[in-house]
Structure formats: structure tokens, C-alpha cells
Amino acid sequence: MQIDIITIFPDYFREAFDYGIVRRACAAGLVSIRAHDLRAWTNDKHHVVDDRPFGGGDGMVLKPDPIFAAVESLTGARRRETVAAGKRVVLLSPQGRPFTQATAAELAQSAQLVLICGRYEGVDERVAEALVTDEISIGDYVLSGGEPAALVVIDATVRLLPGALGSATSATNESFSDGKLDCPQYTRPPEFEGMRAPEVLLNGNHAEIARWRRDAGLDKTKRNRPDLLK
Ligand code: SAM
């Protein structure tokens, strides 16, 4: 998989992929990740990427022309309709559809993923209207820029690439994979400051452990995320 990030702060990503599963996936050749400076697709002397909003108001808006040029040079397409099958062009935006484990699994199927990071008041709407295949929000809050959202999308997506996780079953045992949260985990010591790990996890009976894990995952889902069970 090829991941291309379009940003006005490419240095933000300098060491971001040097850790853990994403680093291993890069080293194994499962994914290649590049951050591109949007200013490279400007034609003026000052490399201007933003302008004042039509209609007035505070702040600046990222201009459409450098973004269309960037996506065209990275994907060969200048409109959503002509983006080749297997390629996804994503605008990160609080106004997008919510990013979930299912979205990560969808994106993990692509051969190329282009992520557009907004800044300031956001991105000229013609990018969402005509250029991108997906407009995605990582949650109901407003970040200062799309860069942290790109990191979230990349991490959740890359760990789902075949071969990225140590064990082939890891991703299927995790929270959200079967519509509920994962079970709580414990490790040594068995007793810590008067709190005991559940005895069932220490007795070596695999059938009982599996039953306890399923029930404990359900209990935790009822407590923290009842919406998942509806
Ligand atoms: N004026 C916009 C609004 O209220 O909808 C917010 C713009 S925000 C300050 C600047 C950029 O941060 C956005 O263009 C987007 O790329 C990114 N961003 C902010 N919140 C986000 C979220 N929840 N998910 C994904 N990207 C987000």
C-alpha cells in the first residue's frame, strides 16, 4: 500500500512512523508512507496555499487549486469519478462521516490512500464536492489541523494490512471487531495493592477463561458503550 499525506506541515510526520507496528509494516514493505508539502503545488513566488473566506469572517481557507494539483500529480485523477479503483482520496474534516474500525478495514483494502490535511478554517468546499472519494472525521471535536487525524487513520488502517500484526488472529479479537469491546486484561503480579486479578484467569482452564473473557467484554460494553449493543 502507498500512503501519501498532503499537508502544509510535512515535518509533523518526521518520526511518526518510526515506532511499533507501523514501523515494522514499513520495514516489511507492506506500506510506504510519504508526507508532501502542499506548497510544492503552488505557482506563485510566496507559495500561498490559503486565502480569506468569501462572505467574510475570521481565519483563512486552504485554496482548492494547489490541492487539486497535488491529488492529480499523486493519483493521476482530478475528479472523484476518475480516481482509479483501488485508490482512495480522503479529506480529513470534522464534517466528514465518522471514522470507525469498519472504515479502517475498508481503507486497508486500497492500493493507494491519499490523505488531505486541512488547517485554519478548513478547506475550500470544492475539494469535498468534486475531488475526494471520502470525507472522514475522527470524532466529534475540532482539531487545529488534519495532521493528528491522519496519524489516527494511518495507524488504525496499517495494523489491518495482512501481515502487519504479529498474530494472524490479533485483529479479530480486538474491540469493535465483533460489535463489542475487548475483555479486560491482567498481568503479574496476581495481587497488586489489595486488588486481585480474577482467579479464573489463573487456573489454566481454557474453556472457563474463554467464557469469562466473552462475558467480561460484554459487561464492559454495557457499562461504557451501550450504544454498540443496540
Ligand atoms: N471550521 C471547521 C469546522 O468548524 O468544521 C474546522 C476547521 S479545523 C480548525 C482545521 C482542520 O483540522 C480541518 O480542515 C480538518 O482537516 C482538521 N480537523 C479538525 N477536526 C477534525 C476531526 N474531528 N476529524 C478530522 N479532521 C479534523
108-120 confidence digits (pLDDT tens): 999 999 999 999 9
The number of residues in the chain equals: 230
60 lines ligand 1 (CB under 6 A): no
- For residue 173, the model assigns a pLDDT of 86
- In this prediction, residues 148-171 reach a mean pLDDT of 91
> How many C-beta atoms lie closer than 10 Å to residue 172's C-beta?
10
- For residue 166, the model assigns a pLDDT of 82
> How many C-beta atoms lie closer than 10 Å to residue 87's C-beta?
19
Element (H, E) at 137: strand 134-137
- In this prediction, residues 180-204 reach a mean pLDDT of 97
Say what the alpha-carbon torsion angle 15, 17, 20, 24 is, to the nearest 10 degrees.
Answer: -120
Domains in the chain, CATH or no CATH each: 2-158 (3.40.1280.10), 173-229 (1.10.1270.20)
- How confident is the model over 46-71, as pLDDT tens digits? 999 999 999 999 999 999 999 999 99
Global pTM reads 0.97
> How many C-beta atoms lie closer than 10 Å to residue 142's C-beta?
8
pLDDT at 168 exceeding the cut of 60: no
Residue whose Cα lies nearest atom 26 of ligand 1: it is 93
- Residue 113, beta-bridge partner list: 3, 88
Which of 49, 58, 89, 92 to probe ligand 1 with, by most ligand atoms within 8 A of CB?
92
Q: What is the DSSP letter of 179?
A: S
Cis peptide before 198 (omega within 30 of 0): no
